[in-house]
Structure 1
Amino acid sequence: MIQIYNTLTREKEAFIPIEENKVRMYVCGPTVYNYIHIGNARSTVAFDTIRRYFEFRGYEVNYVSNFTDVDDKIIRVAKELEMTAPDVANRFIEAFYQDTEVLGVKKATCNPRVMENIPEIIAFIEALIEKEYAYISAGDVYYRTRKFEGYGKLSDQSIDELETGASNRLNDMEASKKEDPLDFALWKASKEGEISWEAPWGSGRPGWHIECSVMATKYLGDTIDIHGGGQDLTFPHHENEIAQSEAKTGHPFAHYWMHNGFVTMDDEKMSKSLGNFVLVHDMVKEIDPQVLRFFMATTQYRRPIKYSEGTIEDAKNNLNKLKIAYDNLHYRLADAEEQLATDQTFLDKIEHLQAAFITEMDDDFNTANGMTVMYEFAKMLNLYSEETVVSKVVITKMLEIYQNLLAIFGIQVGAEELLDDKIEELIQERNDARANKNFARSDEIRDLLKEQGILLDDTPQGTRWRRG
């Protein structure tokens, strides 16, 4: 049974879904005012990997992840670029899809946007006002934090500690509008030149926290199985989501809260505010996206990841070993027997390794330990590829399971064979160039293929290629 570390209870718990074999999962998405950096991508990759493992284990996953397309940062960038806020959002939503696609991230079941859910947000706020959990103040609407019993339970903080911190952050204008320093905005009154919508209490736009409560409950129901996001969202964002949602519905908002660790650079959390970030948009021009995916997916999601040239190089080398193991065994299909008397021994080994992999991944999606099993699997592939006589039955089963398990990490082996025809075409052109003593072109093709990770071995039987 899958065990999940629940931030709310601060312990591992057996995963018991609301509906049998189904998972309702909401993960906070990006604020779309820039390209995502690798720290943002870590959360996207971590929860994509978790989603893939649930699906591997037979669950149907309804995976919802929002886009924050109304925000102070978006408005600021729109002014700088002389664009409308919706145009800025559309531009970077498209960029998000492009960047995450090359990282092998599956599209969410649904990617709701704030602008598409304004009526629902207004209705949600009206319900909170009616229940006296919210109040109107000079065109803004605030949530009465102290009225919600249990505020602070997710981040494990007392109301008094939170009040001290909130008081220190308030400016005079905010303080004059709030009944209590802890109260937070559900709706912000419009300012001149900013995007806004009409509401019963006046023109304005939603606060940040309300959007996720509205979209999670709209698309997944009043109570969901899993709510995920980065550790930095635990407070105040997720704490506020709980307060809003449970005050309105009277039901628990999420049964399991999951938070991924940060990506660090020079021992600091990577973030745009600190200026120590690397954009995925730029990185994939220089680094194989599969290496980036491997780098992020193979650390257990709650652990921090240290980004450096060295850790990227390690990821590249380890991924290479896994791919070569696949290629070595796949190459033996050409001379394999249909089946052998020893097949069952090897089929049992495959089953044992898959079971070991499941045991590790069932333990709070421990991808690091799961990958240790995959290295053992790769070793088995290499050893079997060196057998004098091999079986198609064993090779086919080994490669199938190996592919399926690596796919959980978003890693593809073998799928690149779609490019085989192009590689063979270039090799033939190189052979022709060599025959015509056009060695410059021959070397050029070898270098071109090498840049794409294709290594050539010239043998008496012809040129053999492999992915290096």
Structure 2
Amino acid sequence: MKLYLFNSLTNQNDYLVLEPQQTVSIYLCGPTVYDHIHIGNLRPVIVFDILHRFLLHCGYRVKYVHNLTDIDDKIIQKAQKEKKSELIVTQHYIKTYFQNLYNYNVLKPTFTPKVTDYVPQIQKFIADLIKKKHAYQQESNILFRTKNNPEYGQLSKQKAEKLQSGETRQNSREITKIDKETFQDFVLWKNTNQGVNWYSPWGNGRPGWHTECVVFIQELLGKTIDIHGGGNDLLFPHHENERIQYLAHNNKELSKVWLHIGHLYWNQEKMSKSLKNIILAKHFYQKYGSNVLRYLFLNSHYNQVINFNEKLLQQAQDYTQKIKNLLKRLKLYFYWQKITINQQKINKNNLLYKETIQALADNLNTIKAFYYLDKIIYLLNKELDEQKKANLMQELSIIYYFILDLLGFKFELVNYEWQICYLLTKWQKLRQNKQFLEADQIRKQLQEKDII
């Protein structure tokens, strides 16, 4: 199969040729665990979840690494503010992060490594760069030497000669006040006694931000990976600095495809903590549920900006309710017909199935997948109204369930316990006997129980 994706390195749609039962390697940059995440943080996670689900469905093995940054000045500051240890702070926010992944129906990655578990490997990686003259020591800090690496800037399309010291977005573990050979050089090891730190040949300190992901990839995936990604804000300097380290250390590319996900805006302003216009993921889930956010994300292309507003939220709620209403109709229909659906028996020759697969293989075109989903919704509602072709109903229903699962939707429908079955039987008999007033009373009970 050819999987087309927009590659930030080449600035065009490239394709990966995937052989049957191949293992596909994926890396997604994860959160710094010092606070609750907002819905903007979830967009890359949900896009990569679609990629993960799609590859698994197509029969590929997937090695998927999604890291957790648990070393950072922000974590130290949070711990000091709350008078807790850094470990307690990070454990708490890792737990809440995993709860968010569960709530939003995200498949579990293969590995979720923490930086604190890989400090020796990071130190060895840095030592190797020093030996190869790609890193140097300055005031007990270790910095990467960009002047030896002319490929620097190729990923983000930054021209090194136009960069000025202090212009680049600095992470809290970056250092700007010490002398550097060139202003683009960045920190691999920060000399400090503040907060939790580790002994190293260069003095006590902790790793720089940009090295951890490179080491995770080298240790857990072991070669040039297939797909690396994250939000657009990570393109520079984080991913640029990752790529150049890997090139310098291994003399080969870190990833075949660099996949970057667009930002979220709220009423024309970018969502950010500094503007105080973020929506925490846990609060969104409590108010709207996971399906509404999935629809909002997947009804736009992954590398485009999404501008959230109340109108868009209402459209998403209406659409997801339409999906659920059909699911309830199907469940009731198959209950009356005494038909059990085997969702594994999908007809892969069905045109709507094949077109959905083709859409996702073409740069994860989830917008087109919704187009085919709408077609199925229309056909199923039509068949339910007419109740003529049970075989077609079953085939279309299985494809319907499949597409919903492929897009990560999860709807909780009420189980038909004996009380529900009793009401349904009573409702049916009342209608057959034309006792419509009594039947309407039962219907109201079934509606209140979210059965119909």
So what's the TM-score if we normalise by structure 1? 0.85
Please, which moves more after superposition, 354-363 or 104-113? Answer: 354-363
Match in the other structure for 2:399:
401
| Counterpart residue type for residue 16 of structure 2 | F
Match in the other structure for 1:114:
115
Match in the other structure for 1:421:
417
Q: 1:169 to 1:396 in 2, by over 3 A?
A: closer
Any conservation in 2 of the 1:333–1:395 contact (CA below 8 Å)? no
3-state SS of 1:12 partner: strand
Structure 2 counterparts to residues 161-176 of structure 1, below 5 A: 161-163=162-164, 166=167, 174-176=176-178
CA distance in 2 between counterparts of 1:139 and 1:53 reads: 47
> Unpaired segments of 5 or more residues in structure 1?
339-346, 432-456
3-state SS of 2:243 partner: helix
| Counterpart residue type for residue 7 of structure 2 | N
| Counterpart residue type for residue 382 of structure 1 | N
Match in the other structure for 1:263:
264
Give the drift of 1:394: 3.0
Match in the other structure for 1:143:
144
Give the drift of 1:463: 4.6
Match in the other structure for 2:434:
none
Any conservation in 1 of the 2:32–2:70 contact (CA below 8 Å)? yes
Match in the other structure for 2:34:
33
CA distance in 2 between counterparts of 1:336 and 1:423 reads: 19
Any conservation in 1 of the 2:78–2:89 contact (CA below 8 Å)? yes
1:464 equivalenced with 2:433 (yes/no): no
What do the CA deviations read for 1:45-79 (whole angstroms, capped 9, x no partner)?
11111211122222211110000000011111111
1:412 equivalenced with 2:410 (yes/no): yes
Any conservation in 2 of the 1:25–1:63 contact (CA below 8 Å)? yes
Give the drift of 1:166: 4.6
Please, which moves more after superposition, 149-158 or 325-334? Answer: 325-334
| Counterpart residue type for residue 263 of structure 1 | L
Match in the other structure for 1:186:
188
| Counterpart residue type for residue 39 of structure 2 | I
Give the drift of 1:265: 1.0
CA distance in 1 between counterparts of 2:319 and 2:326 reads: 11
CA distance in 2 between counterparts of 1:128 and 1:264 reads: 40
Q: 1:124 to 1:37 in 2, by over 3 A?
A: same
Q: 1:168 to 1:226 in 2, by over 3 A?
A: closer
| Counterpart residue type for residue 411 of structure 1 | F
1:362 equivalenced with 2:361 (yes/no): yes
Identical aligned pairs, as a percentage?
32
Q: 1:348 to 1:298 in 2, by over 3 A?
A: same
Match in the other structure for 1:134:
135
CA distance in 2 between counterparts of 1:56 and 1:467 reads: 31
3-state SS of 1:112 partner: coil
CA distance in 1 between counterparts of 2:266 and 2:387 reads: 48
Q: 1:288 to 1:89 in 2, by over 3 A?
A: same
3-state SS of 1:286 partner: helix
Match in the other structure for 1:448:
none
Give the drift of 1:400: 1.8
Match in the other structure for 2:58:
57
Any conservation in 1 of the 2:139–2:178 contact (CA below 8 Å)? no
CA distance in 1 between counterparts of 2:405 and 2:419 reads: 24
Match in the other structure for 1:88:
89
Q: 1:139 to 1:383 in 2, by over 3 A?
A: same
CA distance in 2 between counterparts of 1:163 and 1:19 reads: 48
1:321 equivalenced with 2:322 (yes/no): yes
Any conservation in 2 of the 1:6–1:256 contact (CA below 8 Å)? yes
Give the drift of 1:362: 1.6
| Counterpart residue type for residue 127 of structure 1 | D
Match in the other structure for 1:152:
153
Match in the other structure for 2:297:
296
Give the drift of 1:459: 5.5
CA distance in 2 between counterparts of 1:212 and 1:420 reads: 48
| Counterpart residue type for residue 52 of structure 1 | R
3-state SS of 1:410 partner: coil
Any conservation in 1 of the 2:136–2:145 contact (CA below 8 Å)? yes
Q: 1:196 to 1:348 in 2, by over 3 A?
A: closer
Any conservation in 2 of the 1:403–1:412 contact (CA below 8 Å)? no
Give the drift of 1:152: 0.5
Count residues in correspondence: 428
CA distance in 2 between counterparts of 1:224 and 1:349 reads: 30
So what's the TM-score if we normalise by structure 2? 0.88
Any conservation in 2 of the 1:324–1:467 contact (CA below 8 Å)? no
